[in-house]
Amino acid sequence: MEETTLTACSAAEIDYIHSKLIEYNKGFIHDDEQFGYAAKDCQGRIAGGIVATRNHQCMTIDYLWVDEEMRGRGIGSKLVAAVENAARQAGCTVVWLNTFDFQAPEFYTKLGYELFGVLDGCMNGHSQRFFRKNLSPPQPVANCMGASPWHQAKEAT
C-alpha cells in the first residue's frame, strides 16, 4: 500500500474535500434544496432573513438573523413560520436547527421547538443547542360555520 502524508489544507483543498463529500452524499440525499426569505423594511433594506435546506422529509434552518434594531417585532417568528409552511408544503415531517446559548435559544422553545441535544463548551465556552419541531400536515382552514371548505366540497360530490 502506498504511504500517505498529512499536510495542512489550503483553502482550495478544503473546497475540494467539501465538494467530494457533497458528491458522495448526493447518492443518498440527492434532492437537497436551499432557499430563503428576507424581511425588508419600507425602504427595501433587509431587516432579517432566514436560509433553510430541505432534504427529503427533513427541513434544516441553516441561518436566522434579525437586525438588532428590529428585534422584538415578530420578524423572526414570521421568518420561521414561513420556513415551516414551506416545509409542510414540501411534505417535510420535521424542522431542526442548531444555535448557540448566546443566540436566544428560548426563542425556539417559545415557537414549539424541543431541545434534543447540547454540546457544552464547544465555542469559546458557549454551548451549542440542537432543536427540532415535528410538523403536522397542513390543516384545512375552517369557514365561519365551523366546517372546513374541503369537507364541504367533499360532501357535495
Q: What is the pLDDT of residue 138?
A: 60
Which domains are assigned to the chain?
A: 29-134 (3.40.630.30)
Residue 148: predicted pLDDT: 37
What is the sign, positive or negative, of the torsion defined by CA atoms of 133, 134, 137, 139? Answer: negative
Residue with cell 434544516: 60
Please give the Cα distance from 130 to 114 (Å, whole number).
8
pLDDT of 150 reads: 36
So what's the pLDDT on residue 22?
83
Confidence at residue 1, expressed as pLDDT on a 0 to 100 scale: 65
Tell me how far apart the alpha carbons of residues 8 and 11 are, in angstroms, rounded to a whole number. 10
Predicted local distance difference test score (pLDDT) of residue 35:
94
Mean pLDDT by 10 residues, the chain (157 residues): 90 94 81 89 95 92 96 96 95 95 93 95 88 80 41 40
